[in-house]
Chains A and B, each alone.
Chain A
């Protein structure tokens, strides 16, 4: 299936900003995160088609997955 992956902030470093990529059907968010080598503690927000989602959620063909770092005030 085809997914659009959007990366934000520090996740772009050494990777990409946006990319259209192919994945097996029923891929979970976690598998994409692992494949991209994004450290778990840095991952703060997962959006699927602009809606907050979870790391174990299953992706569907045509989805846009956006991965954002954690935010902390200060």
Chain B
């Protein structure tokens, strides 16, 4: 980034970002310093990429005109804690309107790839077209600025995400970090839920497959379509010396209210997102057997206190991050020492590849998560599509689909995952929307707008309907009923249209949501970081306005891609077969949803004018 003004909100064109556009078809490249159009461009991430996507009319995700945009946020690679995000954006193969048009989508992950990418001097890399042969891209620093090279990648074909990175690490050594797809992304024709894995320092030092993922929306499948198997970012570390201001912010992130609950239990924290199991179980709101909690204690089998008797749980962190929210599960040897790494237990994959498919054995759940990660699939879309299939088979015992797997049948579920990743089960690989449309039984397919739900019961979160990039991470209403106890219409309208949409600010600026998940990026902490790192004067109000515009642009793009307002809803089973076991007020009645839709659109619709370029 180049700054010729300290006021990027008023003078965005005085801030330039470094972009390289690569035509994969012929290898041509164009480097340019691009003036920002607005504060969203300055912040980066999807705030910038969605403006680029909005300039294109794309009717099929797998077409040469659909770009894959790899970029960072303003604070990626800075000394601000959690500043490690990389963003992958494009029109999604899996998220599509009923009209059949692909939705614009982004996905993001941490690891150290993003910082290395930024330190090469590049802020954004756009891949156009499709390579005729498998390639990987090397992005590296040079005395003349960032360089990008396309290299043959035949030797990477068929390898897992982790294996690809290990091969590349041998070639590029310790100054490089990697982004890679697995076999699933290579099978893009039949797998729409491919993820992009991002390497971590822990992984590269230990050789253990402890990656991070940009999983949602099939950006790994889009990468596979482009015949682009991996990215290598090679640069010396360029972390600025920590200023007193950023040090104070980082201390606040680690010790303040923002992330305390995500810290390890041994440090007085809550133990990461896994802790959601215990809390949601009080309300019988842990998804079980395709989002049908039964009011029993089955979810407790994957409570941490049960699992730690059998396995060694290591609390670890992304490089330079003091939050330490990872719970890495290792075998426990007979002498009590730690053995082989099995999987990382976050709430979402653990539930959706565990309890929600009838798997209550921690070792089996770990195996499935491990498979999903190494094949390079979004564990949310994979888990929910499988749970739909298992539910269908439970309802049709005389005529089950595929291998006839049922809830809890580990071997058959594992077989489904293997076959899906290798491209032989498009029924699963293309997601729950298409699978349910093929069976004609759509009411219990737990997706919204074509993207599978994360592990929060839809009965607790009608805000899912307005999430623009999947579930809870692009509309933070998932705790509005459960955590805050809000069941009145006013709270929900305000939550969706004012407060909770602000969570997407993290997907612009380069920070992880755990930097301050409840307050978002419109805080003095972020203002202080921008001033200290770049001498930028930005107010919290300007940040909030930019985040809101970016969110609304996402909504406008959905509508342009053919989404009708009746698609902003929840899976019909929620009201067709209300679950009596969930111990929370019922706010997902048809009347409530209808009124909520009316009120939300009354607020959003007038603001959508002028956000997109003329078609």
Residues of A within 8 A of B (CB): 8-10, 12-13, 39-42, 44-45, 47, 50-53, 66, 68-74
Contact = CB atoms under 8 A, between A and B. Distances in A.
B483 A73 contact: no
Contacts of B256: 41
A52 B485 contact: yes
Interface of B: 256-257, 260-262, 265, 268-273, 275-276, 278-280, 282, 305, 325, 346-348, 454, 456, 471-473, 476, 478-479, 482-485, 513-514, 517, 583
Given A9-B275, A71-B483, A41 B257 contact: yes
A48 B14 CA distance: 55
Contacts, number: 94
Contacts of A71: 273, 275-276, 279-280, 479, 482-483
A37 to B, nearest CB: 11
A70 B270 contact: yes
A44 B483 contact: yes
A8 B485 CA distance: 17
B278 A41 contact: no
Nearest to A52: B485
B279 A72 contact: no
Given A70-B261, A71-B479, A74-B325, A52 B279 contact: no
B513 A9 contact: no
Given A71-B482, A71-B483, A42 B260 contact: yes
A72 B476 CA distance: 10
A41 B478 contact: no
Given A10-B265, A42-B261, A42-B269, A73 B282 contact: no
Contacts of A53: 485
Nearest to A54: B485
A66 B260 contact: no
Given A8-B278, A41-B257, A45-B483, A74 B583 contact: no
27 contacts: A8-B282, A9-B270, A9-B271, A9-B278, A39-B268, A40-B257, A41-B256, A41-B260, A42-B270, A44-B261, A69-B279, A70-B279, A70-B483, A71-B273, A71-B275, A71-B482, A71-B483, A72-B261, A72-B479, A73-B276, A73-B454, A73-B456, A73-B471, A73-B479, A74-B272, A74-B273, A74-B346
Contact of B279 (A13, A50, A51, A68): A68
A7 to B, nearest CB: 10
Contact of A13 (B257, B265, B272, B325): B265
B517 A72 contact: yes
A73 B276 CA distance: 8
Contacts of A42: 260-261, 268-270
Contact of A69 (B278, B456, B517): B278
A45 to B, nearest CB: 6
Contacts of A45: 279, 482-483, 485
The 3 closest A-B pairs by CB, nearest first: A52-B485, A9-B278, A41-B260
B580 to A, nearest CB: 15
Contacts of B476: 73
B275 A52 contact: no
B475 to A, nearest CB: 11
A71 B455 CA distance: 12
Contacts of B269: 10, 42
B282 A72 contact: no
A44 B279 contact: yes
Contacts of A44: 261, 279, 483
Q: Which residue, of B260, B261, B456, B483, has the highest number of chain A Cβ atoms within 10 A?
A: B261
B261 A66 contact: no
A10, A42, A66, A71, most chain B CB atoms within 10 A: A71
Contacts of B482: 45, 71
B260 A73 contact: no
A10 to B, nearest CB: 5
A40 B164 CA distance: 44
Nearest to A72: B517
A41 B485 contact: no
Contact of B514 (A50, A68, A74): A74
Contacts of A10: 265, 269-271, 275, 278
A42 B270 CA distance: 7
Nearest to B269: A42
B279 A41 contact: no
Nearest to A70: B261
Nearest to A73: B472
Contacts of B280: 71
A50 B483 CA distance: 13
Nearest to B471: A73
B275 A74 contact: no
B265 A72 contact: no
Contacts of B325: 74
Contacts of B347: 73-74
A10 B327 CA distance: 15
A41 to B, nearest CB: 4
A9 B271 CA distance: 10
A42 to B, nearest CB: 5
B301 to A, nearest CB: 15
A68 B482 CA distance: 11
A12 B484 CA distance: 22
A67 B30 CA distance: 57
Contacts of A13: 265
